[in-house]
Structure 1
């Protein structure tokens, strides 16, 4: 048992180093964290499956430490319904837990949210766009994306999911490898407009 715990500690340390390095590189705009996780998710599933088969009953030290992180660390907790954010852009990464934000920026400049295990829920009905074209990227591996926007902004949404449902202001699709696009009638001629790029591996996408 001690040997297994020692092995679990080593693996856990490697996982933390790898995730931390990826998040750091994402913040430095040297890679796309969501895209990297999305590319290697089959390997993650294989590792999890092997663990379940070989050790179906024992809770490993790795699992216990992950639970402790989720319970004690604000960075990995499920985000509560936060106070309204007035910043011009949003840039957040989450490994375990949801991202839930209310945005009220009057010159919204877009941004990026990436989540591995959890939902992304953004309430932005009170935003005003900054001058020019703005882009918001939303990426999740295992979880749903929900975005609420003002009804009067020029908007283009491109969404795709490997397995799940998509609803973009009434433009719907469901099943496997689903891609949908929504474009408001005033988008092409607008000098101030928003593009939303949403991508999920397993989960639903809703944009209202």
Structure 2
């Protein structure tokens, strides 16, 4: 029986993921240039943020279509997303354009989910859920609006979008906690079951002797 080919970690999908991480310092440089108030620098920061966000969609599609899904990608992809959105949120708060409590709520959720992934990694990998993907999309949209030098009459749109992002962030965070606990419980049951089967095999072999 032929074993399935091993997917190399160094593939186009993972390279795009790592490039998203590499764009984070570039984005921050543009965001804080001229104290974050200059029109063209803010457009440049938005452009880098938009390009980096698009790579998230592209690398996921390539991984699925070309069969390039790896455990490294499952872990690195959400970390790259969190690095980008986290940098944007902290940057906007430092500039006084976004309340710190919003940044803290989102950051705590994102860090918590990342730690949960590592906590249960020996039992399996928690892939991104549909709710998590929607949360990321809404976050990106809301952050993009805050990055753009919008006229005053469009500010309520940015506020509502960020409010929706916060709600989705909290709700999906609770969902990830539940999924992590279930995965850990299944893993423990599987280990216990394997140990019971091994013990039964020993009993059978011992009685046969």
Between Structure 1 and Structure 2, whose CA radius of gyration is higher? 2
TM-score (norm 1): 0.31
The higher relative CO (CA closer than 8 Å, separation ≥ 6) is in 2
TM-score (norm 2): 0.31
